[in-house]
A and B are shown apart, each in its own frame.
Chain A
Amino acid sequence: GENVEQHPSTLSVQEGDSAVIKCTYSDSASNYFPWYKQELGKGPQLIIDIRSNVGEKKDQRIAVTLNKTAKHFSLHITETQPEDSAVYFCAAGDEYGGYNKLIFGAGTRLAVHP
């Protein structure tokens, strides 16, 4: 069945360092890959997404890369700040069918230490 694996489950970095979270997906029909950030006591919030017609997308300190052949996609956060501390989720879905059903990874708890 559909599956999204996410690594690592926890990540601890020093302020200013980079953080990388990796995901793999199983459904070859997936063409939409959003990343969500969940702060304590809140709902997940979209931070960036990528579609299968591009290999990389950047928005200030965050970037996503996609390798459709290998079914891998990654989130890169540069110059991390304490406010980046949260749980990050990757997800994969099919924009053309299935009414936007998303399969989520298990999450990565990122801690940025001052």
Chain B
Amino acid sequence: DTAVSQTPKYLVTQMGNDKSIKCEQNLGHDTMYWYKQDSKKFLKIMFSYNNKELIINETVPNRFSPKSPDKAHLNLHINSLELGDSAVYFCASSQVTPGLAGVGRTQYFGPGTRLTVL
């Protein structure tokens, strides 16, 4: 009955490889997010999808491509992995209805995926 789940929990790979991280939420939310947390614990938004539409796209290398097959899933594909991509990646979800404040805007985070690029 996990609300926001991510797979895998740990990912160790070589530089230059391509990898994907999957995220699923069973909260019925319409908006999902990807965050990157670096070694200093700094948490930064990367992407956000609302009903399968990309709505937040921060300054992230083109090697990162999010894909949302439906509003309950948001996957992150990373091409040509680099050493600097090593981090913990968190998926989150919330229910966002534009223009309605205080309506369940809480973001619920998944357990994270620790990516290590060697």
Contacts and interface: CB of A to CB of B under 8 A. Distances in A.
A100 B101 CA distance: 10
B44 interface: yes
A106 interface: yes
Contacts of B90: 43-44
A32 B105 contact: yes
A101 interface: yes
By size class, the interface of chain A is: 20 to 34
Nearest to B114: A41
B109 interface: yes
B98 interface: yes
A46 B4 CA distance: 14
A44 B41 CA distance: 11
Interface residues of B, number: 28
B109 A43 contact: yes
B112 interface: yes
B112 A106 contact: no
Given A97-B98, A99-B31, A99-B96, A43 B40 contact: no
A87 interface: yes
Interface of B: 4, 31, 40-45, 48, 50, 55-56, 90, 92, 94, 96, 98-99, 101-102, 105-112
24 contacts: A32-B101, A32-B105, A34-B107, A38-B41, A42-B112, A43-B4, A43-B109, A43-B111, A45-B109, A46-B107, A46-B108, A89-B43, A95-B105, A96-B99, A98-B56, A99-B48, A99-B98, A100-B94, A101-B48, A102-B45, A102-B107, A103-B45, A106-B40, A106-B42
